[in-house]
Amino acid sequence: MNLFNTHGAFSWSELMTADPDAAVKFYGTVLGWSDQVMPMPQGDYHVQMAGERRAGGIMALPDPGLPTAWLQYITVDDVDETAKRAVELGGQIVVPAMDIPMVGRFCGLLDPQNVFFHIIRYEQTEGGDEPVVEFAPSFATHGCFSWYQLVTTDVGGATEFYSRLLGWEIEELQMPSGPYNLIKVSDEGMGGLMKVWSDDTPPHWGAYVTVDDADAVAASATGAGGKVIVPPTDIEGVGRFATLQDPTGGILNVIKYLPMEQ
């Protein structure tokens, strides 16, 4: 599954922050990302590299009044039609569809529970020689985004909205902590949906980055000026994760997966 041309696939993660330089420094220290700067009309865009693979992006907030956050992009076949369909299903358009030169066309949406996400169709290169970015290696590659999780007040409503909008297959699993709804795109698990764990937790999309050692990464986050929100914790049958907050306010999960069955 090529993330850049598979409808419904998570394909990019982006931190919007008031202090991109501080965020770049933090994630370089904690995750080992290297920084490739792309000058853009609205300011520098920082592409974060996990070795030779593009992991995600960091950019300045377009409006100082917005909160710092990691945001997710989902590939679609047609941005305008998908946005129209989202409204029909009870969502909202909050960033109108627009083109990014040499990248593609995107739009920002809210689902019926007011959770923000992007949809995007990537620009086709001349001759159709598209880069192939497979998802499966993300589970074993340090620094790569490998899981996307929606925490919501209405699991049933979210399941209906996203499955009808993006064609996801959503399968309910029984986990030690309770029901968990697995998101499958082209038969590959990419994420999950779960109910908010407290009234103080707002609905949101979160993401997980694969690491070689969750404990070491959590320790380095503190030393680099960040915070550990959830200390390294085992998820039975899955792996060991921690939740970090960078010095600019961005929240990100890191995870060391258990060896997968061959």
pLDDT per residue as tens digits for the range 175-193: 877 789 999 999 999 999 9
DSSP 162-222: HHHHH--EEEEEEETTEEEEEEEETTEEEEEEEE-SSTTS--EEEEEEE-S-HHHHHHHHH
Q: DSSP secondary-structure letter at 157?
A: H
For the segment 9-28, the average pLDDT, to the nearest whole number, is 97
The pair of structure tokens assigned to 28 is: 């370089």
The pLDDT tens digits for 57-109 are 999 998 888 899 999 999 999 999 999 999 999 999 999 999 988 889 999 99
pLDDT of residue 135: 84
Banded pLDDT at 197 (limits 50, 70, 90):
confident
CA 226 to CA 246: how far, in whole Å?
5
CA 161 to CA 168: how far, in whole Å?
10
pLDDT of residue 2: 87
The pLDDT tens digits for 147-160 are 999 999 999 999 99
Give the residue carrying structure tokens 């996400």. Answer: 117
User: Residue 262 above 60 pLDDT?
Assistant: no
Residue 260 or residue 97, greater confidence? 97
For the segment 228-256, the average pLDDT, to the nearest whole number, is 96
